[in-house]
Amino acid sequence: MTDQKHPRIFPRARQDARAAEHYPETPQTADPAYRLAYQDMEFLLREDLRPVRFQLELLKPELLLEEAGIASTLVMYGSARTPSPETVAHSKLPHHVDFYEAARALAKLASACPVNAEGKREFVVCSGGGPGIMEGANRGAVEAGAETIGLNIVLPFEQAPNAYVTPHLSFNFHYFALRKMHFLIHARAVAVFPGGFGTFDELFELLTLMQTRKIKRLPVVLFGRRFWERVINFEALVDEGVIAAADLGLFTFVESAEEAWARIQAFYS
């Protein structure tokens, strides 16, 4: 921290980086060893530097979200295969289009939240940034005139953020673990829609963190009781003794955006 009375004595990193672009060409300066470490991509991609890459991937979104004035998020998980009204005619899951619309409606409700006393935004809609439920969530926020977050990830097949993610809040991850951390760092509520392995992974990690008290309790709403009770026998887990009956209180089933938002508001009232 500097001011006019105590000016900064070291140049900024950007100035150092520009200065390092201008030096005499010699055998020594031509060798990669001479590059500044933070400008040397080959060095940064070494196997030994994995901990540094972890740190950077943790730090970058956190700093940019802080600079964007985001205090908390409403996270939405769900299938990338869920069709929109525009694509439902060609989908294998036409009966899931209502979940797309529910995500869209919930995002609109959350996006109407006023800023807090510090002027920061609450319940900013955050999704995985892809298609399906993620698109519905980001789309609803945009339709409400709000900015919205997308946490994308590099996958073997072609992957790109959906068109509704706010560009300066669109992040890309290599590590699933760090992406999942960022979903929850600012989360004030989580809405989970029907999905596959990825959705289950995110849901059960969240439930485990709350069950083991690694994170504070927050409202978790599961859309579509019929789907969830058909694919997971929660009661059987209690009957088998592998979870406690009280653990079923870590989440609530809902059927509409209005019901979900009312549950979230009631949690904090």
Asked whether residue 4 carries a pLDDT value surpassing 70, the answer given is no
Helix or strand holding residue 231 (H, E): helix 225-231
Helix then strand count (H, E) for the chain reads: 11, 7
C-beta atoms surrounding 43 within 10 Å = 16
Structure tokens at 169: 């809040």
d(CA 189, CA 263) in angstroms, rounded, equals: 10
Cβ atoms of residues 102 and 53 within 8 Å: no
Q: Indicate the SS3 state at residue 156.
A: coil
Q: Indicate the SS3 state at residue 245.
A: helix
What are φ and ψ of residue 254, in 5° steps?
Answer: -140, 160
d(CA 149, CA 126) in angstroms, rounded, equals: 5
d(CA 102, CA 79) in angstroms, rounded, equals: 13
**Best CA proximity match to 154, nearest among 138, 130, 137, 181:** 130
Q: Which domains are seen in the chain, by residue range?
A: 14-45 (no CATH), 54-268 (3.40.50.450)
Helix or strand holding residue 220 (H, E): strand 220-223
CA within 13 Å, CB half, 197: 0
Asked whether residue 256 carries a pLDDT value surpassing 90, the answer given is yes
Cβ atoms of residues 265 and 221 within 8 Å: no
**Mean pLDDT score, 220-240:** 98
- Residue 8's pLDDT band (cuts 50, 70, 90): confident
What are φ and ψ of residue 170, in 5° steps?
Answer: -105, 115
- In SS3 terms, 89-143 reads as HHCCCHHHHHHHHHHHHHHHHHHCCCCCCCCCECCEEEECCCCCHHHHHHHHHHH
Q: What is the pTM of this model?
A: 0.91
Strand partners, 75: 126, 190
Q: Indicate the SS3 state at residue 70.
A: strand
Cβ atoms of residues 189 and 75 within 8 Å: yes
d(CA 11, CA 133) in angstroms, rounded, equals: 46
The reported pLDDT for the residue numbered 2 is 52
The reported pLDDT for the residue numbered 22 is 79
The reported pLDDT for the residue numbered 19 is 79
What is the maximum alpha-carbon separation in the chain?
75
Tell me the per-residue pLDDT of 10-27, one tens digit each, with 9 for 90 and over. 888 888 888 777 778 899
Least confident of 155-159, 165-169, 188-192: 155-159
Tell me the per-residue pLDDT of 201-211, one tens digit each, with 9 for 90 and over. 999 999 999 99
